[in-house]
A and B are shown apart, each in its own frame.
Chain A
Amino acid sequence: MTLKGASLGAMLASGEGEGGMHMPTLDELYPAPFWKIGDWFEFNRLDMIRVIAIAAVLLLLYLGARRTALVPGRGQSTFELAMGFVHKQICEAAMSPQMARRYLPFIATIFFTVLGLNITGVLPGFNVSSNALVAVPLIFAVCAWVAFVAQGIKSHGLGHYLAENLFPKGAPKVMYILLTPIEFLSTFILRPVTLTVRLMANMIAGHFLLTAFFVMTSYLMIEGGGLLKGLGLVTGAVSFIFVLFEIFIACLQAFIFAILTSVYIGLAAEEH
């Protein structure tokens, strides 16, 4: 395929052919399973990445937490720093100190697992985060939903908790026709949905962003001529910056998922 005189737009449009540019599609997130048992059980590349990431998280936490000494070594102090971050910055930022202690294991589980699963999106060799599929974010969102509803019922009793959330005080009685459905949607439906979609869509977008830049760079460098090779250099540099950005996003999304869960739990327990 010669590119003399061809504009970048035409190049992008003709990318379907042999040796052209293969832009990423959603199908990439559903690779063919390489291990199948019956109709129900499949095991594909993303499941494999998920299992490896969970094993790595478990191993790291085990190495950090075994043989805890009064004077911590290097591994243990890193672990304590991370745990202290979850405790101070995430749990205590949204809950009372006693509740923060009680919910620390739950929130820390969410934080470290989501972080471990997110970070595979930038690790060379994996290159895709299994959080780009809806399953794991949905599981965590459901756990968060159960946790904050249970905390609300425990703190206020079922009737009182529902009344507080569905019939906000101080509004005129007529307004409840409008307010109650909105409050119900925003508290009990949209919270877990946005938790799920935020994490999943961030990982999908990150994967496509990185893949698009890598594909474009290699295509421009190999098949482009003259000026387009220069453009390839630019996209290569930008893709490096986006890798750093995606590492930041992976940490930020784990942080946001954990802190929103603790904010919801804290709100449910709050006295009115």
Chain B
Amino acid sequence: MIDLLADVNGNLNAIGYGLAAIGPGIGVGILVGKTQEATARQPELSGKLMGTMFIGAGLAEALALLGLVAGFLFT
């Protein structure tokens, strides 16, 4: 076990970015799921719902990308 751990090398930033991606992942999942639900209820609004979904996805995704940039910055 100790030998195995000694062999693990690389950068903690990768783990940090993985952690940073969890929250936005959940967020985008909920977002798309809810949009699907709303579209199923009111198919005639699907265009509008898609538009707002993309705005929300952009906002949620920005957090994951902040994590990516932070990983590069704080090396």
Contact = CB atoms under 8 A, between A and B. Distances in A.
Interface of A: 13, 26, 89, 93, 194, 197-198, 200-202, 204-205, 252-253, 255-256, 259-260, 263
A202 B65 contact: yes
Contacts of A263: 55
A216 B61 CA distance: 26
> Chain A interface mostly helix, strand, loop or mixed?
helix
Nearest to B8: A9
B12 to A, nearest CB: 16
B58 interface: yes
A253 B72 CA distance: 21
B74 to A, nearest CB: 13
B62 A252 contact: no
Contact of A256 (B9, B54, B66, B72): B54
Nearest to B10: A13
A201 B51 contact: no
A34 to B, nearest CB: 25
A201 B54 CA distance: 17
Interface in B2-60: 9, 51, 54-55, 58-59
Interface of B: 9, 51, 54-55, 58-59, 61-62, 65-66, 68-69, 72
A89 to B, nearest CB: 7
A255 B54 CA distance: 9
B51 A198 contact: no
Contact of A201 (B9, B59, B69): B69
A259 B61 CA distance: 15
Given A93-B51, A260-B55, A26 B72 contact: yes
18 contacts: A89-B51, A93-B51, A194-B59, A197-B62, A197-B65, A198-B58, A198-B61, A198-B65, A201-B62, A201-B65, A202-B61, A202-B65, A204-B68, A253-B58, A255-B54, A259-B55, A260-B58, A263-B55
B54 A205 contact: no
A194 B9 contact: no
A89 B51 CA distance: 8
A200 B66 CA distance: 10
B55 A256 contact: yes
Closest 6 CB pairs of A and B: A201-B65, A256-B58, A198-B62, A194-B62, A201-B69, A201-B68
A126 to B, nearest CB: 22
A252 B62 CA distance: 13
